[in-house]
Structure 1
Amino acid sequence: MKLLITRPLPDPVMQAARARFDVTARASTLPLNHAELRQALSDFDVVLPTLGDLFKAEVFADVPQPRAKLLANFGVGYNHIDTAAAKALGIAVTNTPGAVTDATADVVLTLMLMTARRAGEGERMLRAGAWQGWHPVQMLGAPVSGKTVGIIGMGRIGRAIAQRCHFGFGMQVIYHNRSTVDAGVPARQVPMAEVLQADFVVIAVPGGPATRHLINAAALAQMSRHAIMINIARGDVVDEAALVAALQTGQIAGAGLDVYEHEPVVSPALIGMENVTLLPHLGTAVLETRTAMGMMAVANLIAFQDGQPLPNPV
Structure 2
Amino acid sequence: MLELKGVVKCYGDIRAVDGVSMKVEAGTIAALIGPNGAGKSTTFRLISGLLHADDGQILWCRQRLESALTREQRGFLPEERGLYQAIEVEQLLRYWARLRNIDSSAIPAVLEDWISRFELDSKRRALVRTLSKGNQQKVQLAICLMHSPKLIVLDEPFSGLDPLNQDLVSEILLEQAASGATILISAHQMALVERVATTVTLMRAGRTMAMPAFGKSGEREADSLQRLVVVHIESGARLLLTDLPPHQVTHTADDKITLTFPAMRLAAFTDALAELAALDGVVDLEFSRPSLHRAYVESVSTNITGAGNGSSYT
Fold similarity call, TM over 0.5: no
Kindly indicate whether structure 1 or structure 2 has the higher relative contact order, using CA contacts under 8 Å at least 6 residues apart.
Answer: 2
Bigger Rg over Cα: 2
